[in-house]
C-alpha cells in the first residue's frame, strides 16, 4: 500500500505512512465521482504539453490512448479502484502507468493535484448546476400543468396556518413556481463564476515551464485561466455558493412538502397522494403515510448541514491549499444528489396526487374569509381603514359569540357596528366577487392567474432552451 504511494509521489519519505493515517486520509471512496472530469482534464493537459514541446508526440499519443482505455473501464464498471491509492488522481495515474509504463510519468509535468482537483471540481459544479436547473424546470413544468387544471379550484389561503383569505389553487401553486424560478436563477448566476480555469496554477505558485494555460482553459470550456495561482487552488467559494443555492432550493421543496403532509391529513383532506408516492403502516392497516414529502422535508436538514460544514471548513484556512479542503467533496456530492432526487420525487408526487376540489371549496366558503372585504367596503365609503378594521372586528366577534353566519347580517345588523355599511352582508359579500376583485398585478383574479400561467409557460420554455444551448457547448 505505502510502497505504491511512495513510488508515485516522491522519495523524500523514509518511513512508511501508518495504515491508520492511510485510512483516515483516503478519499477515493467518494472523490471517484470526479473521475470523468479528471480524465478530461488530463487529456487536455497532455495535448497542451505536446503542443508546447514539453512531452513528445509519441508520449502524448500513448497517454491519450491509455486515458481513453481507462475511461472505457470506468464506463463499464471494470476499473480496478484501489483504496490504498488514496484518491481518484492517484488511482488514474497508477492505472495509466500499468498500461503505458514510463510515459505515464510525464503527464504530471507542470501540474499538481491541487490545481488538478480544483479544475475537476469546477467542471463538476458546472454540470451539477445545470442538472439542478433542469430538475427545477421539470418540477415547475409539473406545477404549471397541475395549476392550469385548477384555475377555478378555490381554497383558503393561510397565514399562521389559520384561514385568511380565499385564493385559487392555481395561484397557490404558481407561488412555488416563482420560488423555484429564483432557485434556478441562483444556479445560473453561479455559472458566471465558474469561468476561470485553475489548471496550470500548480501547487500554489504556477510553474517555471512554458505552459499554455489559455489553451487548456479553452479546451475545457472555461473563458480564461484563473488570474491568481494562490486563489485558484485555495478557494472554494463557488462550492459554497452551490451548496447555498441547493440548501435554499431544498427549503422551498420542504415548504411544499409540509403542505402536502398537512393537506393529506383527514383534518384537511385537500389532497390524496398516489399509492406510488405513499407507504403503509407496519401495524395499522388503515394508514396511508406521506413518506415522500416527509423525507424531502427531512433531507433538507442534510442540505443545510452540508452548507454549514463547508463554511466551517473554510473559515480558518490560511492560503494556499490545505488538506482540510478534501472535506469539500462529500457535502457537494451529497447535496447535488439530494436535490436531484428530491426534485424528481416531488414532481412525481405533484403530478399524480388527487385534489379534492369540493373539500377545498367548502373550506374556502367560510364567510369569515371575507371579513377583510367587508372592511375595505367601509374604506370605499370613506371610513379610515383602522376604524373600519375595528368595526368589522366587532362584527366578527358578535358572529362568533352568537354562532351567526356573517353573510346573514342585515344592513341594520351591520349598522349597529358602523353606520356606513351600505347594504346587507349578503349583498356585499360573495366568494367569486372577492376573488375577481383582487385583480392587481400578482393577485388571484382569474385573468391575473391565467396571464401568470402563460408567463410561467414561456419562462419554462426559455429556461429549457437556454440549458440546451449551454449543454451543446464544450
CA distance 369 to 397: 14
Question: For the domain bounded by 366-437, which CATH number is listed?
Answer: 1.10.40.30
Note the pLDDT of residue 78. 97
Instruction: Place 474 in a pLDDT band, splitting at 50, 70 and 90.
Output: low
Paired strand residues for 225: 197
- For the cut 50, the answer to whether the pLDDT of residue 469 exceeds it is yes
Note the pLDDT of residue 210. 98
Least confident of 30-34, 207-211, 333-337: 30-34
% of residues, the chain, pLDDT over 90: 90
Burial of 254 (0-12, 13-18, 19+ CB in 10 A): buried
Instruction: Place 473 in a pLDDT band, splitting at 50, 70 and 90.
Output: confident
As a whole number, mean pLDDT of residues 391-410 equals 95
Note the pLDDT of residue 83. 87
Report residue 380 as a C-alpha cell: 370605499
Phi, psi of 287 (to 5 degrees): -75, 145
Indicate the pTM of the whole model: 0.93
Q: Who wins on pLDDT, 268 or 22? A: 268
Paired strand residues for 156: 166
- For the cut 70, the answer to whether the pLDDT of residue 277 exceeds it is yes
Note the pLDDT of residue 1. 37
Least confident of 1-5, 65-69, 264-268, 433-437: 1-5
CA distance 343 to 355: 20
CA distance 22 to 90: 13
Residues of the chain with CATH 1.20.200.10: 114-157+167-363+452-471
Nearest to 135 by CA among 187, 99, 66: 187
DSSP 427-466: HH--HHHHHHH--STT--SHHHHHHHHHHHHHHHHHHHHH
Q: Are 41 and 96 in contact (CB under 8 A)?
A: no
Per DSSP bridges, beta strands 196-197 and 224-225 are parallel
Q: Are 184 and 463 in contact (CB under 8 A)?
A: yes
- Give 27-64 pLDDT, tens digit per residue: 878 889 999 999 999 999 999 999 999 999 999 999 99
Residues of the chain with CATH 1.10.40.30: 366-437
Query: Active-site positions?
Result: 160, 281
Report residue 376 as a C-alpha cell: 375595505
Note the pLDDT of residue 430. 94
Note the pLDDT of residue 41. 98
Note the pLDDT of residue 28. 77
Q: Who wins on pLDDT, 194 or 10? A: 194
Nearest to 184 by CA among 153, 152, 141, 225: 141
Note the pLDDT of residue 447. 97
Note the pLDDT of residue 6. 46
Question: For the domain bounded by 114-157+167-363+452-471, which CATH number is listed?
Answer: 1.20.200.10
Q: Are 396 and 425 in contact (CB under 8 A)?
A: no
Instruction: Place 9 in a pLDDT band, splitting at 50, 70 and 90.
Output: low
DSSP 148-163: HHTTT-EEEEEETTEE
Instruction: Place 283 in a pLDDT band, splitting at 50, 70 and 90.
Output: confident
As a whole number, mean pLDDT of residues 257-275 equals 97
- Give 342-388 pLDDT, tens digit per residue: 999 999 999 999 999 999 999 999 999 999 999 999 999 999 999 99
Instruction: Place 19 in a pLDDT band, splitting at 50, 70 and 90.
Output: confident
Q: What fold, for 2-8+17-109? A: Fumarase C; Chain B, domain 1 (1.10.275)
Note the pLDDT of residue 471. 87
Note the pLDDT of residue 7. 46
Helix axes 237-263 and 169-191, enclosed angle (nearest 10): 170
Q: What is the mean pLDDT of the chain?
A: 94
As a whole number, mean pLDDT of residues 98-127 equals 97
- Give 295-320 pLDDT, tens digit per residue: 999 999 999 999 999 999 999 999 99
Amino acid at each position: 500500500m505505502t510502497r505504491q504511494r511512495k513510488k508515485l509521489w516522491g522519495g523524500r519519505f523514509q518511513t512508511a505512512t501508518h495504515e491508520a493515517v492511510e485510512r483516515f486520509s483516503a478519499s477515493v471512496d467518494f472523490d471517484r465521482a470526479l473521475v470523468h472530469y479528471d480524465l478530461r482534464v488530463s487529456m487536455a493537459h497532455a495535448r497542451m504539453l505536446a503542443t508546447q514541446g514539453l512531452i513528445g508526440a509519441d508520449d502524448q499519443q500513448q497517454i491519450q490512448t491509455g486515458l481513453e482505455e481507462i475511461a472505457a473501464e470506468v464506463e463499464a464498471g471494470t476499473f480496478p479502484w484501489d483504496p490504498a491509492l488514496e484518491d481518484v488522481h492517484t488511482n488514474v495515474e497508477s492505472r495509466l502507468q500499468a498500461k503505458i509504463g514510463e510515459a505515464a510519468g510525464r503527464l504530471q509535468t507542470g501540474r499538481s493535484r491541487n490545481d488538478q482537483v480544483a479544475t475537476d471540481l469546477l467542471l463538476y459544479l458546472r454540470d451539477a448546476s445545470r442538472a439542478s436547473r433542469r430538475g427545477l424546470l421539470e418540477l415547475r413544468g409539473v406545477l404549471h400543468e397541475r395549476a392550469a387544471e385548477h384555475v377555478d379550484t378555490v381554497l383558503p389561503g393561510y397565514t399562521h396556518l389559520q384561514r385568511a383569505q380565499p385564493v385559487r389553487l392555481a395561484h397557490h401553486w404558481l407561488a412555488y413556481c416563482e420560488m423555484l424560478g429564483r432557485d434556478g436563477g441562483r444556479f445560473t448566476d453561479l455559472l458566471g463564476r465558474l469561468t476561470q480555469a485553475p489548471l496550470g496554477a500548480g501547487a500554489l505558485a504556477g510553474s517555471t515551464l512554458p505552459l499554455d494555460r489559455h489553451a487548456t482553459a479553452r479546451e475545457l470550456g472555461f473563458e480564461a485561466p484563473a488570474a491568481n495561482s494562490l486563489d485558484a487552488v485555495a478557494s472554494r467559494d463557488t462550492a459554497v455558493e452551490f451548496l447555498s443555492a441547493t440548501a435554499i432550493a431544498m427549503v422551498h421543496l420542504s415548504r411544499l412538502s409540509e403542505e402536502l403532509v398537512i393537506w393529506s391529513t383527514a383534518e384537511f383532506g385537500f389532497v390524496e397522494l398516489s399509492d406510488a408516492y405513499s407507504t403503509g403502516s407496519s401495524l395499522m392497516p388503515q394508514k396511508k403515510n406521506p413518506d415522500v414529502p416527509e423525507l424531502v422535508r427531512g433531507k433538507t436538514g442534510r442540505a443545510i448541514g452540508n452548507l454549514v460544514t463547508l463554511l466551517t471548513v473554510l473559515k480558518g484556512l490560511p492560503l494556499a491549499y490545505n488538506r482540510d479542503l478534501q472535506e469539500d467533496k462529500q457535502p457537494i456530492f451529497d447535496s447535488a444528489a439530494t436535490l436531484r432526487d428530491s426534485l424528481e420525487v416531488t414532481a412525481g408526487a405533484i403530478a399524480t396526487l388527487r385534489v379534492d376540489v369540493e373539500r377545498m371549496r367548502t373550506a374556502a366558503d367560510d364567510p369569515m374569509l371575507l371579513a377583510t372585504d367587508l372592511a375595505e367596503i367601509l374604506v370605499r365609503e370613506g371610513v379610515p381603514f383602522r376604524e373600519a378594521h375595528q368595526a368589522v372586528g366587532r362584527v366578527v366577534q358578535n358572529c362568533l359569540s352568537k354562532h351567526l353566519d356573517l353573510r346573514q347580517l342585515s344592513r341594520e345588523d351591520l349598522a349597529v357596528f358602523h353606520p356606513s355599511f351600505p347594504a346587507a352582508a349578503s349583498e356585499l359579500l360573495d366568494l367569486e366577487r372577492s376573488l375577481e376583485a383582487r385583480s392587481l398585478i400578482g393577485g388571484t383574479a382569474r385573468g391575473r392567474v391565467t396571464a401568470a400561467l402563460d408567463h410561467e409557460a414561456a419562462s419554462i420554455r426559455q429556461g429549457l432552451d437556454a440549458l440546451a444551448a449551454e449543454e451543446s457547448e464544450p
